[in-house]
Amino acid sequence: MSNNAKAITDGFRKYPILIISGVISVILLVTIYCRSDLLTTQRGELDKYTAESNGYRSNIVNSAQLREQLDFLIEANKAIKDRALVAGGLAQNLQYFYRLESEIGIKYIDLRPGSKTPVAGQSSIYAPLNYLVIVQGDFTQIITFLKRLEQGAYFCRINTAVASASGSNVTLNLNLDLLGIP
């Protein structure tokens, strides 16, 4: 044996725990150094899975009353559909205005469907049905007419309104939309 090998062997016999500990420490340091780049990757995966888990937890908590909420929305949608006109029923839709005329005592100068039409290709459950209305009556009748439109059987949105007075008569020019089902 050479002197170096004999010195190493003698050193190992003299300090076996120290040498084994040193070799293990070097192996551990090399392993830690080589695997340190995996730590950031694994932290990223952990964050991703944690966020996904929190999303699932939130979904579970929020779904506790899902059936009741769905039933409520179905009833609300049914109530809205009950208060909507059918877009194809022009004569029936105009009857709504004629009933208002006979009940309130106003007089229509002009009543016709407007030029607004639903956008082609737009998939919507509801569509605005546009009407141009010119109505004449006294101030009380005009205010009653507007209140009946606002609180009426159908949802109504007034786009423009122009009023003019001549003596005791008021003429009201309206451009309005009623909620309709195409």
CA distance 172 to 175: 10
Contacts of 101 (CB under 8 A, 6+ apart): 107, 108, 135
What is the predicted pLDDT for the residue at 117?
A: 55
What is the predicted pLDDT for the residue at 32?
A: 82
**What is the chain's pLDDT, residue by residue, as a tens digit (182 residues)?**
577 778 778 877 888 888 888 889 999 888 888 777 777 888 889 999 999 999 999 988 888 888 888 899 999 988 888 888 888 788 888 888 899 999 999 999 998 888 765 555 555 778 888 999 999 999 999 999 999 999 888 889 999 999 999 888 999 999 999 888 87
* Largest pairwise CA distance in the chain: 132
- Specify the pTM: 0.59
What is the predicted pLDDT for the residue at 121?
A: 52
Domains and CATH numbers, the chain: 3-60 (no CATH), 85-181 (3.30.70.60)
- 42, 56, 57, 61, 139 from 51: Cα distances, Å: 14, 9, 10, 15, 62
What is the predicted pLDDT for the residue at 116?
A: 62
The one-character DSSP state at 63 is: G
What is the predicted pLDDT for the residue at 122?
A: 56
Q: Are 83 and 176 in contact (CB under 8 A)?
A: no
